[in-house]
Amino acid sequence: MPQPDQLNAFIAAAETGSFSAAARRLKKAQSAISNAVINLEIEAGVELFDRSKRSPVLTEEGHTLLKSAYAIIESHADFIAKAMAMNAGEESHLCIAIEQNVSALPVVELLVEFEQIFPYIELELLDPGTSDVATLLRNGRADLGLMMEQEHYPKGFMFRGIGHSRKLPVCSKNHPLAKLKQVSHSDLRSYRQLVPRSLDLEDTSHEEQILSPKVWYAESPFVIAELLSAGLGWASLHESVVKEQLAQGSLIALKRIYQQNASLQGIDVVWTKHKPLGKGGQWLLERCFKLNLR
């Protein structure tokens, strides 16, 4: 297995064009550089330099293996840097679950800064549907979560409000409900309702939203928005999900008789006591506290 000092000597000699210049760059004796390259050639079983001329010249094999030498040295440097980062308290992997109803754009701005500060943390982003963030945190799949607030969180959960989201009753511009200036409970019950539902069958939080006896369910609110655009019923969805369709006019917001046209729901950042956050996770958590999502 080639040693880093052998590869560094090979690279330096190739870049400077001589063993003496390589020795000056690496602040070593010329004999040390020559011996390192010779030992590397013995291990590789090929000549890296043609020494028949006054200055050593890379052979064809040397040109080919130089690229591999660069890659190995870079990997070695990454290994050392990542080990040092872990020794300083950085986690090697961090998973963030962002509920589909929550706009991810403000978080993206944080992640741009995060990548600069913690370049060796492997980051994973999940986009679960309604109420599934809590499940991912509970089973340890995710480290941090952004989700619509819940009235009650499981034991061991920690949370903090970081904003609000508007929830709107919407339907296709061609749906019969769109022709009404205002809609009542009776109007909504007359048509199919599309309801976001968690993948967890034991989660019954969606039942509070049901008004119509004719219901379809979907885990993704974005799938529901597409179904609505095709004229299949109505739904109460978060503005972040249907913002583009509302702007384009393919969906419209309904005006309800019995309450305000839109309702606000809080957005929480959530984590658990059972899975302590490392340096990177703590940094993201503190930055999330300063968000004001809308």
Per-residue confidence of the chain (294 residues) as pLDDT tens digits?
788 889 989 999 898 888 889 889 888 998 998 898 999 988 889 999 988 888 888 998 989 999 898 888 888 766 765 665 556 567 889 999 999 999 888 889 899 999 999 988 899 999 998 889 999 998 899 999 999 998 888 888 999 999 999 999 999 999 999 999 999 999 999 999 999 998 888 888 888 889 999 999 999 999 999 999 999 999 999 999 999 999 999 999 999 887 655 588 899 999 998 888 888 998 999 999 988 877
- Cα within 13 Å of Cα(259), Cβ side: 7
| Cα(135)–Cα(54) distance, integer angstroms | 70
pLDDT of residue 80: 66
CATH number of 4-87: 1.10.10.10
Q: Domain coordinates of the chain in residue numbers? A: 4-87, 93-162+267-289, 166-265
Angle, helices 60-87 vs 4-16, to 10°: value is 130
Q: Looking at domain 166-265, does it have CATH number 3.30.420.40?
A: no
Residues whose CB falls within 8 Å of the CB of residue 60, separated by 6 or more in sequence, listed in order? none
For residue 205, what pLDDT is reported?
85
Architecture of domain 93-162+267-289: 3-Layer(aba) Sandwich (3.40)
pLDDT at 74: 82
4-87 and 166-265 have identical folds: no
